[in-house]
Structure 1
Amino acid sequence: MRIIKKVLLVLLTLLVLFGIGSLFFINSLKPDYEGIKELNMLSAQVNVHYDTYGIPHIFAETEEDAFRSLGYVHAQDRLWQMELLRRVGKGGLSEVFGKDLVTTDQFFLSLGIDEHTNKTVAALDKNSEMVILSEAYLDGINAFITDGPTPIEFYLTGIDKTPFSLEDIYNAVGYMAFSFAMAHKTDPLLTDIRNQLGEEYSNDLITNSNKDFVWIKNYNKKIADSIPSTITASVTEALEKLPIPQFVGSNSWVLAPDKTKNGKVILANDPHIGFAQPSVWYEAHLSTPTYEKYGYHMAGIPFPLLGHDRNLAYGLTMFENDDIDFYYEETNPEDSTQYKTESGWNSYEYVSKTIKVKDESDVVFEYKNTRHGPVLNNIANQINGERPVAMSWVYTKIENEVMDALYGISHAKNIDEFSKALPKIHAPGLNVMYGDAKGNVAWWATAKLYQMPDSVSTKFILDGTSGKQEPLRFLDFSENPQAINPPWNYVYSANNQPDSIAGMLYPGYYLPENRAKRIVTLLDEKDDWDKEAVSKMILDVTSSVNPEIVTEFGKFVDVSSFSEEQLIQLDALKNWKGNYPLESVSATIYHRCLYYALKNTFEDELGEEKFKQFLGTHILKRHIANGTRNKEGIWWDNINTKDRIETRGDIALKSFAEAWQSLENDFGPDPSKWTWDRVHTIEHGHPIGQVAALRKYFNVGPFPIHGTREVINNMAFPYDSTGFYKVSSGPSTRRIIDFSDIENSISILPTGQSGNPFSKHYKDQAEMFVKGEFRKMMMNKEEISKTSTSLLIFRPSQK
């Protein structure tokens, strides 16, 4: 018995020691928000005050010292995120996550981001202010890598910390330029539809502009093959495996003084990005005698993409322009190393790449380039066949000055300096929103746009052999869509179609008018906006389009066979205002019915796999409202029923019945239990959280959440057969900048400021975000000093 007691005592002691050791280890991995640290190359002491939510307010004597300190504090909260973002463009994800990411690495390597980065960095002026400040930021990151604790994710994945360089900054920019990727999801699929089903089917979809929709108005006083569907499937698979979020949309509006109660500009912005943990933006306030900015930074990029100071504010949405085209190439039948052009045979360029794979041998793969770009065949296993398809992407074809643009807009003192930096953004296409203390409001669509021959639609795969479907010219920036101080006293963007300023349409993958229509309606009806009213508007969950769809479908539903309960719910649906509170039953019934309506309309022609692909396109989103109004659409008929031709009414009736049955199966026969909070939820997933045992430690959520697809509070989700709507993207921040009270402007992040799971700021904003709450973006130095929760001091290194 004594021996057993001794053994148990020893085991208990070891367990206690292990627990204590674990606590010490975990505590050692937390970010340091206070204390004194030495930092190489500082010219003077830098004070970093952290506020209640862990946002650093950096006070320095020089810009270099401020950006060097920013690099350190950014890295200690987000080094893991930085590591992933820099790896995407250079094909380094398989080294972290194993062989499942090889296809994704192959795809991104074939885009040529890394090669374009190397050329760009080699040509940089190392004495330019942009490069000097970027290097200072990198010094701070690398100082943390050398002296700071290793984030837990590096231990769990077994990778080493390595220094960051300018190449890593540009690779991160390259991923941002590609991230919405709608051309890959759309063009090959539309080509497949046209080739296999016929032009009548493709013409029945809204593939180009539609004058019936709400367009953004300009104002300036001055001015048949099997390969396509496999491309879509391959790209979809590659992007789905990405462990970081993609840019997808956004809202923004800027109110001129005549539209506001206090006679000062108000800017609102909520960029829509895929939800993940950590969230995309890192907030930081930098203040020096020559520079001040409260900014939102992407991991590994020194200059803020969103920002404000006391003089001006700016925000972004995705332009959604078409900057990727696909081309059919023709290989010389007598020499497989050549492809056809209008002037003869050119030689393929052969590119070989090596991918490091965790716990596996390196993977070596080869692909071909043409004058258009990489040939996608055989880059991924699904893409094969005789006919080569090449991809042309503006980002890798034009000199890369995006970082110069970000430096320029973040350092601009007025609207003229700000606008001069914008032509340097060639990709991605962005709607840049602007407002300032002097009362100016503006919107510019920034991208390197190009003109195609009149008869050419870039929504389909083009002929790469004739030279007749090549770009005619690049547009001057003055021909880009824009509005500067328009007489209607506001500018806005919601990823919808812009009007022409150059007498031509701008091809793109624009989202439907739903959000734009609601924004314009609300802004037009009121001229006394203030911060509180704007904060309510940015949380608006009402769709003016969805009730119209219900009304249109309801005209053709034969209710003679409906039960009393079905009639009650159908009546409630007809009176539904298109709003999405958590207790709504009509919202649940509407989306369940809509999914079955889409399935019953399209799946018979497309098949199960292509239908899933189609659900992920903006073309489908634009088609929903317009297609519902189309009484004679060719898609209504079910091609599998030979004895009859289905109508819009048949689809509506069948879809309602199937939706009702599925809801009963999921929640029982009582419709009062079919509330929106039971189907619409949000969870912020961390890559490590994909391991079930670690999910609760790394993921944030899930939470029931109000909102839906294509309302202002755009809590978007993919449609699928489950009938449960797991939110995949939405507001990555909500910012409201009020120049009548600039120091009390407000914002929120979806989870928290820190990406470190052991930080108290890992998820301290998550429930506030779900509830629609805000917090102050502090800029007053005296207030910051008095309310600061901790002070971190950087001093010049004595080494």
Structure 2
Amino acid sequence: MKILKNLLKILVILMILVVAFGWYYKTTLEPQYAGELEIKNLKEEVTVYFDEIGVPHINASNQQDAYVALGYVHAQDRLWQMELVRRIAAGRLSEIFGEKLIRTDKLFSGLGIEEAAAKTIENLDKNSEPYKLATAYLKGVNDYIENGKTPIEFTLVGVKKEKYTLKDMYNVLGYMAFSFAVAHKTDPMLNEVKEKLGDAYFNELIGVEKENLTLIKNEKNPEITGAFSYAMHRLMETLPIAPFIGSNSWVLGGDKTKNGKVIFANDPHIGFSQPSVWYQAHVKTPHYEMYGFHLALVPFPLLGHNKNYAYGLTMFENDDVDFYIEENNPNNENEYKYKDYFLNYTIVEKRLKIKDKKDSLYTIKTSKHGPLMNGIVAHLEDNRPIAMQWIYTKLENKILEVAYEISHAKNLTEFKNGASKLHAPGLNIMYGDSKNNIAWFASGKLYKYRDSLYTKTFLNGSSGKDEIVEYLNFDQNPQAINPSNKYVYSANNQPDSIANMLYPGYYLVEDRAKRIVELLAPKNNWTKNDVAKMLLDNTSPNAPKIAKNLLNSLNKSNLSASEKTAIHILKNWKGNFDKNEVAPVIYNRFIYEFQKNTFADEMGKGYSQLINTPFIEKVLPVQAKRENSVWWDNVSTKDKIETKQEIVTNSFKNAFSFLENQLGTNVERWKWERVISVEYKHAVGEVAVLRSYFNVGPFVTAGGDQVINNQIYNIDSTGVYKVLAGPSTRRIVDFSDVDNSWAIVPTGQSGRVFSKHYKDQAKQYLNGEFVKMNLNKADVEKSKNVLILKPKKE
């Protein structure tokens, strides 16, 4: 008994020590939201008020000090995120995650992002405000690295902290630009269809690009002054940081709102991760104020507002990547043909550091068009030299200047001037102000090829005939300023004609755009609450039409009672993707089977490159309407030519059988909430024992792919829809009450797992709620958490 008592005492002591150590470790790793700190590079004292969701409201006497403070507080909440994102473009992920990231590192290090960054930095005006403030921000970040608390991820993964430079900042912007591009996911697949299946198959696919279009109208009026596919897919899937995908935004002019003032709405769609992609910060000096949403390591917010104007973005989806087949010199593999002569490839040796392994050495060859994909994309089956030309690395880079100017504009004219300097990635930049100006600018350097050249298949690199012949002036870009319909919007959809053509791109299916127009056009008394409700709209205008077109071709003989119930539900569906709906479950499985039965037999392994792309989403509504199609025939059945009715009927039967096995025989219980979920994943949460600590979720959610409340998931064999991406923030700025504008992010403001703001917005986000973006000085200063940053005495 005495031994047992002693053992219990020891156990209790050990438990107390564990709890005490855990408490100490937690408190020493929490971000510091109150008190006083001395930091270097400050000229004068800066006061930071942290509000109830952890957003810093930075009050400084000058912008230089404000940006030092911004860098410091951004780093204390998001240093691990900064570390990951700076490593992507530099090809340094395998250095900390091991050999599984080698292929990804080879791709990104071979794109030329680092080389373009070095060239840009060399030519920067060191006396310009963007340069000075970006440098001040980095000083704040690096001061935190020297003196702040190290996030636990650095210890768990075994990473040493390194100071940040401007090159890291440009690497982040380069990764952002590449993740916007879609050509690398689509062009190789289309090229294969053309070369291996022929024109009949190819022409049916590309014919969809001119059908089912909701066009964004161009209209310029005066300012109101008022005074490779599969490999690429796999590589992108391994990234431990979120890619950029789509977005919604609309801006309502005063004539469309109840209070006669502009209402601005924006929800950029980005891959979900933990922490959330955006870091919020409110910076205020005597001559400047901005409540902004920042990317890791980017000092100037890409989304923001103050009392005078608001701005945001969606992806333009223009085509700024092209692939060229080069022709090597048969007598010298280090030369390639261009017109009637040979040029030398630029050859660069690269070294990848790999955790617990020897360094990996490889060579990159670059032609006048860009790097050869053969050396940097694993398992590229095409043996021809294929070069990638990317406008981001081809032209002068002013992206930091763009971010500075749009966040420091005094009026619409200055804002437009900043937006006009963007070369890549293509962005729809949205604007609204307190003087009732509204605007949309499709920003990015647009260009023309010779007539009739189709750029979504591989171009001829040797002929000299497939080169860019003209760059367009910004005034030719799609845009609208104070249009007659009193609103502007973007949902990554096709803009109307510019330069006498529909500008080529990878625009998304019209569903969200069509729904936005349906809701905005008839109503002229919009309020902030109405806009909030619209941001959560789960209705697809086109999905019910697709379902009916398929059902019209269904052979309805020999159907069971349960199958008839499923058909009835689908036929009467209004396109809603709410949790309790049954139709979305039937619809998604039906189109999965339909697409597989239509395309997989011809495309073989290439089918995996087509499914779950924006391109197939544009093909689907057109293919569902077609009665005659070369794709209907199943090429694996040699003695028979299948019809649309057979394809549709087999698809429905297969879908129904699958759902019965998955969800039971009672069709009425096939609720959407049973198959859809979302989990916000942290890089170290992939380790099973750490998942519950670092990941947020999983949660049941609502919404669907290509509804306004866009929940992006793969439609695959599992019949389970794990949401991969969606609104990275929802923002509403109402200029009739600008001090009480709203926003929400999916999880929380902080990336520090021990912070109370790590996931404190998660439930509100799922419930469609918002929190206040506070600009009111008196309200801000009521904060209980005040951090005073003082100049460090030397």
| Correspondence 1:188 to 2:162 | no
Tell me which residue corresponds to 1:789: 784
Instruction: State the one-letter code of the partner of 2:375.
Output: N
Structure 2 residue aligned with 1:95: 95
| SS of alignment partner, residue 91 of structure 2 | coil
Instruction: Tell whether 2:469 aligns with 1:472.
Output: yes
**Structure 1 position 703 matched with structure 2 position 720:** no
Moved more, 642-651 or 341-350: 642-651
For each residue in 1:639-670, what CA deviation from the matched residue of structure 2 results, as whole angstroms up to 9, or x when unmatched? 11223222222222111111111111111111
Aligned position for 1:326? 323
Distance (Å, rounded) in 2 between the aligned partners of 1:6 and 1:379: 63
For 2:18 and 2:176, how far apart are their aligned partners in 1?
43
Task: Give the whole-Å Cα distance in 1 for the aligned partners of 2:502 and 2:581.
Answer: 40
Cα distance in 2 for residues equivalent to 1:406 and 1:454:
34
- Matched AA of 2:602: E
DSSP 3-state at the match of 1:636: coil
Q: Partner of 1:377: helix, strand, or coil? A: helix
Structure 1 residues 536-581: Cα deviation after superposition (integer angstroms, max 9, x where no partner) = 1111000110111111111111222111122122112111100011
The residue aligned with 2:30 is: 30
Where in structure 2 are the equivalents of 1:568-607 lying within 5 Å?
568-607=565-604
Partner residue, 1:624: 620
Is the 1:318–1:495 contact (alpha carbons within 8 Å) kept by the matching residues of 2?
yes
Residues 1:789 and 1:630: Cα distance change in structure 2 (over 3 Å): farther
Matched, 1:715 2:715: no
Greater shift, 414-423 or 664-673, is seen at 664-673
Q: Is the 8 A contact 2:249 2:430 kept in 1?
A: yes
Amino acid at match of 2:785: S
Q: Does 1:522 align with 2:519?
A: yes
Name the SS of the counterpart of 1:354 in structure 2: strand
1:387-786 equivalences in 2 (<5 Å)? 387-607=384-604, 609-786=605-782
CA shift in 2, pair 1:385/1:440, >3 Å: closer
Aligned ranges 1:270-281 → 2 under 5 Å: 270-281=267-278
**Kept after mapping to 1: 8 A contact 2:186/2:615:** yes
Task: Give the AA of the match of 2:425.
Answer: P
Matches of 1:4 and 1:734 in 2, distance apart?
58
Query: Cα offset for 1:151?
Result: 0.3
Paired letter, 1:708: G
Shift of 1:515: 0.5
> Residue 702 of structure 1: CA displacement?
0.9
| Aligned twin of 2:289 | 292
The one-letter code of the counterpart of 1:54 is G
Alpha-carbon deviation of 1:305? 0.2
1:144-183 deviation per Cα after TM superposition (whole angstroms, max 9, x unaligned): 1111110011001101111111111111011011013311
Aligned-pair RMSD on alpha carbons?
1.4
Which one-letter code corresponds to 2:792 in the other structure?
S
Contact preservation (8 Å) 1:233, 1:382: no
Give the deviation of 1:266 after TM superposition: 0.7
The alpha carbon displacement at 1:14 in A equals: 4.0
The one-character-per-residue Cα deviations of 1:459-481 (angstroms, maximum 9, x if unpaired) are: 00011010011110111111111
Distance 1:21 1:581 in 2: 45
SS at match of 1:194: helix
2 CA distance for matches of 1:419 and 1:739? Answer: 20
Q: Are 2:429 and 2:441, in contact at CA under 8 Å, matched by a contact in 1? A: yes
Cα pair 2:96 2:355 within 8 Å, conserved: yes
* Fraction of identical pairs, as percent: 51
Cα distance, 1:785 vs structure 2: 1.4
Code of the residue aligned with 1:188 in structure 2: it is: P
Q: Does the CA contact (< 8 Å) of 2:208 and 2:619 recur in 1?
A: no
Gaps of 5+ in 1: 224-230
Partner SS state of residue 488, structure 2: strand
The aligned counterpart of 2:139 is 139
Residue pair 1:207, 1:459 contacting (<8 A) in 2 also? no
Could you give the per-residue CA deviations for residues 21-42 of structure 1, whole angstroms, max 9, x where no partner exists?
2321122111111110011122
Q: Does structure 1 conserve the Cα–Cα contact (< 8 Å) formed by 2:633 and 2:643?
A: yes
Task: Give the secondary structure class of the aligned counterpart of 2:378.
Answer: coil
Amino acid at match of 2:436: G
Relative to structure 1, is the Cα distance of residues 386 and 667 closer, same or farther in structure 2, using a 3 angstrom cutoff? closer
Shift of the alpha carbon at 1:303? 0.2
| Alpha-carbon distance between aligned partners in 2 of 1:385 and 1:492, rounded to the nearest angstrom | 41
In structure 2, C-alpha distance between the alignment counterparts of 1:585 and 1:76, rounded to whole Å: 45
Tell me, in whole angstroms, the C-alpha distance in 1 between the residues paired with 2:156 and 2:199: 52
Q: C-alpha distance in 1, partners of 2:608/2:230?
A: 10
For 1:221 and 1:11, how far apart are their aligned partners in 2? 77
* Alpha-carbon shift at residue 206 of structure 1 (Å): 3.4
CA drift at 1:716: 1.0
The CA deviation at 1:5 is: 5.5
**Amino acid corresponding to residue 177 of structure 1 in structure 2:** A
Distance of aligned partners of 1:521 and 1:296 in 2 relative to their CA distance in 1, 3 Å threshold: same
Contact 1:259–1:529, Cα closer than 8 Å, also in 2: yes
2:398 is matched by which residue type in structure 1? E
Amino acid of the residue matched to residue 650 of structure 1? E
Contact 1:340 1:465 in 2 (8 A): yes
Q: Is the 8 A contact 1:249 1:494 kept in 2?
A: yes
Displacement of 1:387 in angstroms is 1.3
Letter in 2 for 1:58: I
Could you tell me which residue of structure 2 aligns to residue 255 of structure 1?
Answer: 252
Picking from 307, 311, 321, the partner of 2:308 is 311
Which whole-Å deviations, capped at 9, do the CAs of 1:475-524 have from their partners, x for residues lacking one? Answer: 11111110111111111000010112321231110001000110111111
Deviation at residue 12 of structure 1 after TM alignment: 4.6
Deviations 1:706-736 (A, max 9, x none): 1100000001111111011111111000001
- Answer with 543-552 or 201-210: which moved more: 201-210
Assess, with a 3 A threshold, how the Cα gap between structure 1 residues 221 and 19 changes in structure 2: closer, same or farther.
Answer: closer
Q: Any idea what SS the aligned residue of 1:89 has?
A: helix
For the Cα contact (< 8 Å) 1:209–1:497, is it kept in 2? no
Matches within 5 A, 1:209-224: 209-210=209-210, 212-221=212-221
2:244 is paired with a residue of what secondary structure? coil
- Shift in Å at residue 789 of structure 1? 3.4
Aligned to 2:710, what secondary structure does the other structure show? coil
Q: d(CA) in 1 for partners of 2:388 and 2:74?
A: 35
Task: Return the alpha-carbon distance in structure 2 between the equivalents of residues 775 and 15 of structure 1.
Answer: 39
The residue aligned with 1:228 is none
